[in-house]
Each structure stands twice: as C-alpha cells, then as structure tokens.
Amino acid sequence: MADHGDTIFALASARGKAGVSVIRISGPGARDAAATLTGDLPPDREARLRVVRDAAGGRIDAALVLVFPEDHSFTGESVVELQTHGSTAVVQAVLACLGQLEGCRLAEPGEFTRRALDNNRLTLTEVEGLSDLIEAETEAQRKQADRLFRGELRARAEEWRQDLIRASALIEASIDFADEEIPDGVIAEAQDLIAKTKRSVDLELNGAQAARGVREGFEVAIVGRPNVGKSTLLNAIARRDAAIVSDIAGTTRDIVEARVDLNGQNVLFLDTAGLRESGDTIEQLGVEKARSRSSAADLRVFLGEGASELGVPVESSDIVIGAKADISGQGVSGLTGEGVAELLKEVSDRLETFVAGSSLASHERHVVALSDASAELALAGSLLGSDEGAFDLAAESIRASITALERLVGRVGIEDVYDEIFRSFCLGK
C-alpha cells in the first residue's frame, strides 16, 4: 500500500444548495477526525445519526455517519463520510472544523482517486472510466464509461498478458535447451498465442475511432451550396436560432455548431459555409474551412447534391437528401420541419452502425499502448517464422508488447500522464 501520511477531506457531492451534502475523509486519521466532530463512531459500514459539533462544542448539524475500514473503502484507506444537510453554511462550517485538526488537510483535485490507484483499488483504465462516468452526458457515454470503470479493458489486457507470458516462457525454454530435445509443437504453440493475441488487440484498435466518437461526441456536417437551406436545417435540428439565416449567398462563413443528444449519442451538427468558388477572400477561406472540416466529420448530410459538384468526398455512411422540401415536395425542409424527424432517424441509424463496432479503447493513450503492443507482436511473429537464431529477438519483442499492455493499465511508465488525468477530477474525487 502506498504511504499517504496526511488525512485528506473534501466535499464529495456538488457544491451549492442540496437536500444532502457528502463530506469525505480519508487517511490514517480519518476515524479520529470524524470522532472529534461527532463523538463515538458507528460500527463499520452502518449508517448512524450523529450531531456534528465544532471545537467549542457548539452544534453545527445532524449528519448520517458512515465508516469504511481500510482495504474495504474506495481509497483503500480508512474512510469516513458525513452526510450533512446540503446547506452552504453547514458544509463550510464542517470543512473549517476539519481544516483545524492536526494532520488533516483539504484534498487536491482527484486525490481520493489517486490514492485508490496507488493502493491498487483501481487500475489506470478504471480511473479513466470513472472520470468519463462523471463527465458522461448521454446514455451511450454512460454505458461506455461504466464498462471501462468496471474493468473490462483491464480484464482483456490481463488475458492478453497471460497468453504472452506463456508464449515467452515457451520461447525461452527453446532458447535455454537448444542443445536438448524440445517437444514438438512448442514454437508452434507460441506462434498461435502471439497470433491470437494480435488479432484481439487489433480488433480493439479497429473499434477505437468509434469508441472515441462515443466518448467525445460525433460530428455531422451539413454540406451544400449557398442558400440551399443548411442554416435553416441546423436551427430546426437544434430547436433554436444557432445560425443566421439570410437570402444573401455566403452569409455563413465560419462553422456554426449545435450539440444534440440524439437517441443517447452526443452529436455535434455543423453548419458549414456554402460551397462555391468566390472572389471574396474571406468567403473563400470559409469555403476551404468547410471542405476541410466536412471531410474530417464522422458523417455528412449533403443537401441537394453530392460530392462531384461540391468537392467533398461522399462516404458510404453519408446521406444525400433533397433540399427545401417545402418548395420541391421531397427531401427535407428546416423551414416547415418536413422530413427533419426522418433525417435525424437516418443519422441516428448510421451512427448506431458505426458504434456497433466500437471498442473500449476510447482514449488516445489506449490507442498508443495497443498500437505499440500490436507492432511488437507482428515483429515477434515474423522473427519466430524465420530461424532459431532470431528467437532471442522474438522473446524481446514479446517482452516489449507485455510492457505496452502494462502501460495500458498503469502498472509501468505512466507517471507523466498522472497530472493530466487527475486534473479533470473535482476535489471530492
């Protein structure tokens, strides 16, 4: 267990008025600190009502007190939670009393979770899952974050690691006993384990783009010529005046965005500049930006016409639909709402198809570690298929792939990413 000499405390629930606020205390002095405020403590993991008093014995509030023993708490340390009334004054008074106790201090952002990591209560991927769960805004984000927090990616990495340890042992045995008779099939088994692991790692990598789309949100660009109805359509989708609508061609010169929860998916719709050649330098910059952003989007909705006329490639997942249905009688109209619900369903269906192939590698750090592991496994497989003189190099590549997987779950080489990860947590986490 990591050595954390200080006892830390913080408000674990949201700031502001509420029915109940939760104040968390963790560390070697957690029980003594809580007992100083509440008197005798209840039995472990049993909630009891206690009066919280200041140093002079004055009553602050009545609170439910919960005690979690070391190794049976979130942080792996002794933890006490005080569930007070959700008054700003009550919370401030309790925190002030805790701050006056020797050995107690206010927690830094993410410090409770950092202690859980240091005490092997969580792996780094589970920490990231917890952070994503706190930030989740849609149902799809919640589900993905929960799977990461529950340790699904960690479990897969451990399975890969065990297979590679077995493969490494087989190769090492072949090297160490090269002058003796080695049973048939030893290297073949190692090759099978390497190939199996690489297929599984590559499958995870292949779904990484969709996984990051779920976590960060998908971009859907509305593309078309000037005055085709893009801005009106965006406003209809957003149900507000997000974009300026005008009969003057070239009104939209920058990207206008509207974020929508579309059947549990976080979707950012983009209204882009009308695509045409223009002598107006500023408008032409907007057109080039529109082409670039549209090409990078996860999905495009082409109003009126497709890529051959607009200079933006149409992918198989993209949608080409008629514009101004209020005039043409077909397609979609942001002005009257005709076809908008059907268009949104089509967008949702296309994104669902994309999401169906998503993995749990939802962070760039995951992709880097998995890519490194895959590359080393490819090298190991190639070396084993050459000659016995390359077995030492193959074994080294397997060890490098195991190290990459250990980086993935936070066992080695990730000190430089700690600050980045924990900076996003609140004080009470």
266 is in an annotated binding site: no
Residue 281's alpha-carbon distances to 285, 292, 311, 356, in angstroms, are 6, 17, 18, 42
246 is in an annotated binding site: yes
Confirm or deny that 81 is annotated as ligand binding. yes
Ligand-binding annotation for 232, yes or no, is: yes
Position 281: which residue type? T
Would you say 212 is a known binding-site residue? Answer: no
CA neighbor of 197 nearest in space, from 378, 356, 366: 378
Q: Is 274 annotated as a binding residue?
A: yes
**Does 227 carry a binding-site annotation?**
yes
Is 121 annotated in a binding site? The answer is yes
For 180, residues 6+ apart whose C-beta sits below 8 A from its C-beta are none
Phi, psi of 81 (to 5 degrees): -115, 135
75 labelled as ligand-binding? no
Specify the 3-state DSSP secondary structure of 267: strand
Count the Cβ atoms, other than its own, within 10 Å of residue 31: 19
Beta carbons of 393 and 383 less than 8 angstroms apart: yes
Say if CB 324 and CB 288 are below 8 A apart: no
Ligand-binding annotation for 7, yes or no, is no
248 is in an annotated binding site: yes
Q: How far is it, in rounded angstroms, from Cα 88 to Cα 85?
A: 9
429 is in an annotated binding site: yes
* Ligand-binding site membership of 161 (annotated): no
Strand partners, 11: 23
Long-range pairs for 133-140: beta carbons < 8 A, 24 or more residues apart = 134/425, 134/426, 134/429, 135/424, 137/261, 137/266, 138/261, 138/264, 138/265, 138/266, 139/264, 140/214, 140/264, 140/265, 140/266, 140/355
User: Is 6 among the annotated ligand-binding positions?
Assistant: no
230 labelled ligand-binding = yes
Q: Closest by alpha carbon to 222, among 177, 182, 168, 267? A: 267
Q: What is the Cα–Cα distance from 219 to 14, expressed in whole angstroms? A: 30
**Do the annotations mark residue 99 as ligand-binding?**
no
Is residue 339 a contact partner of residue 332, using CB atoms and an 8 Å limit?
Answer: yes
Q: What is the C-alpha separation between 177 and 199, in angstroms, rounded?
A: 30
202 appears as a binding residue in the annotation:
no
> Is residue 253 annotated as involved in ligand binding?
no
Annotated binding-site positions: 24, 81, 121, 227-232, 246-252, 271-274, 429
Annotated binding-site positions for GTP: 227-232, 246-252, 271-274
Annotated binding-site positions for (6S)-5-formyl-5,6,7,8-tetrahydrofolate: 24, 81, 121, 429
Annotated binding-site positions for K(+): 227, 246, 248, 251
Annotated binding-site positions for Mg(2+): 231, 252
